[in-house]
Structure 1
Amino acid sequence: MAQYRIDDLARAAGMTARNVRVYRERGLLPPPQKRGRAAVYDDSHLTRLRLIGVLLQRGFTTAHIADFIDGWESGKDLTEVLGLQRALTEPWTASAETVTISVAEAEALIGDPAQLQRLVGLGLAHVEADRCTFTDPKLLSGFASLAEYGFDITTLLDLHERVHAAVDAISKTMIATVKSHIVEQHGEGWIPQGEDVGRTTHMLEIMRTLSVDSVQAILGRTLEVNLREQLGNYLEVAVQNTPSSIRSSA
């Protein structure tokens, strides 16, 4: 299990260390472990912070959240509760290694300050003061590799935005299906109790795996089909444009 100092924990949760201290003082966050003079947090704290963040974004106060968490955990197996929280809030993709360089280096790498701002808007980069952190260096490396073949960053970001919009629509459909199923089975606002906590966690984990595998498999198959179709169209034009003398001698 990962371990965090308070600054690292806050950064992973997308909030400030001051917020973490406030939530701890108000009983929303379990106490950290003590390692000498150091306070050490783990993934259970990160999971709880993500749950708090979701509820705060919905307009709930910390007092409401404290009552909800106390009621939820009362008399339940803490391990199962943490498992359900994690299934609901943890990222569905492995965290990518980030790369941080100066803003000047980033602008030189991208070649266009305006496109660097697009990267920030798409969540692919964060700029703080004079430092720029790329959150998905693998994707950026792919952009750079295609640039060697004449693709410009604007075209590649346009493509990324269209792909993102399409996949986002798919994910909304999948999550809505799960939500509708739960509401049909249990009604609005249902919170699992007893054995249902573990069952619901397992169901969400299966849905998570199925969703990712399904999108990857469909994308792979449709890429093959569309490549063959468009390659065929391209070659048809190429054949038509080939001088007859070359065709006849072949």
Structure 2
Amino acid sequence: MRALLTPEIAPRMGVVLFRPGSELMPLFMQGRVLLEPEPEQYSSFACGAVPAVSQPLADDPAVRDVFRNESVIYRAGGLASLESWLLRGNGCQWPHSDWHSEQMTTMRHAPGAIRLCWHCDNLLREQFTERLKSIAVENTTKWVLSVVCRDLGFDDMHAVTLPELCWWMVRNDLAEVLPESAARKALRMPKAIVQSATRESEIVPSVLATSIVQDKAKKVLALRVDPESP
């Protein structure tokens, strides 16, 4: 959670006051808070919570399965890291309740986790439904993309591109997880055409895009270290 606030300054007392409002108070309940000048690209934003940047890859069917892959989740930090990221937000993610408690917790649900208030957690614990799964999928997708942004040195306002996601996966030895359709898009290869009726003599063999990515990701030289060297 981030916020854009206008300070009230009392220079003679050396005091700066902020009025975040009730929705942003959880931001100040977690200990120290980083303060920095307003970036130029935020000049058109109103005071209050800074909206999250849109991530087109979150809705791209070519990489949909990447964000729920166990190896990808592990490389991004694991479920514990996902839960910590969720608790930095506020509000219960289960909308089908007439009442919510103020305390928040997380409930694991494949493929990731969901932020719930204690009341909804007691109602939904150990349940596995499509509605809960859709929330968990959305959380996992947003979290993985935020990790990719961080690891590649971008800020939260950056929209991750497919080549950037592929590079992050290659860096983390996840090239084999990349789907063929995503690899073809990243390499700017044409879509594979599946013909319903083709003579065997007319079949032209082609190289899979995923094999090209995996071949580029191979280590050039593997070094072996002798633990008992003289």
Query: What band does the TM-score fall into relative to the shorter chain?
Result: under 0.3
**Higher share of residues assigned helix:** 1
Q: Normalised by the size of structure 1, how large is the TM-score?
A: 0.23
- Which structure is richer in relative contact order (CA contacts within 8 A, separation 6 or more)? 2
Q: Normalised by the size of structure 2, how large is the TM-score?
A: 0.25
